[in-house]
Amino acid sequence: MQTGNKRSYSSPQREQSANKTRDDILDAATLLFSRDGIDATKISAIAERAKVGQSTIYAIFKGKAGLLAAIMERSLFGARFEAARKKLEGETDPVRMLAMTASIARAIYEDEAEKLGLMRGISGFSAELRKQEQRFETIRYEMQRERIEALFRANLQRPGLGEEEARRLLWMYTSRDIYRMLVVESGWSPERYEEWLAGTLVLNLARAR
């Protein structure tokens, strides 16, 4: 009986400890990737910074590629993204859902600029970073599928627009490059970007009503 009680109390503690270890490793890797570059950073340096053994890093993340994937997911799909996603989940109007995609794009790229800007700047030519960015683009493209399908099920798409073309246009309009050109290079505020993007998506993808 006592053994069962010990398990019930120790399990949450073990989980908290495991989560802290994981976060410590990701924090250390983010710092070193941003300071020294992804390709130049060794797993041994990350382990030393996080105060864990290299075997722990390999057990959790398998290697540098897994570390980088976890860093990007934590940064791009963080609290801002979750807040925007929850608002979208409560919407049933396909055109409003389409417009609200702008808030999701803004959330992703604002967090990315804050948390990954230095790392991307110093590791812009890293093959591993490019590989993970391609993976992210695939995820982003698939995440948008439901909104386009809802628009077409309700027959609210712009006349003459095919479903595959609509998906490609949505993916293009919400790309990192457009955010960078408007917000980073042209000085738009994130609020202005979101307002412009919402209007642009509705104008170009939805039927006038």
Domain end, chosen from 37, 70, 103, is at: 70
Report the alpha-carbon distance of residue 51 to residue 57 in Å, rounded: 11
pLDDT at 10: 54
pLDDT at 138: 94
Averages of pLDDT over each 10 residues, the chain, 209 residues: 48 82 94 92 96 96 93 87 90 96 94 82 84 91 96 97 98 96 96 98 94
Kindly report whether the global pTM for this prediction surpasses the value 0.85. no
Number of domains in the chain: 2
186 and 135 within one domain: yes
102 and 9 within one domain: no
13, 84, 108, 149 from 65: Cα distances, Å? 28, 28, 21, 33
CATH code, 161: 1.10.357
Q: Which domain holds residue 46?
A: 2-70
pLDDT at 191: 97
106 and 50 within one domain: no
173 and 188 within one domain: yes
197 and 102 within one domain: yes
pLDDT at 3: 46
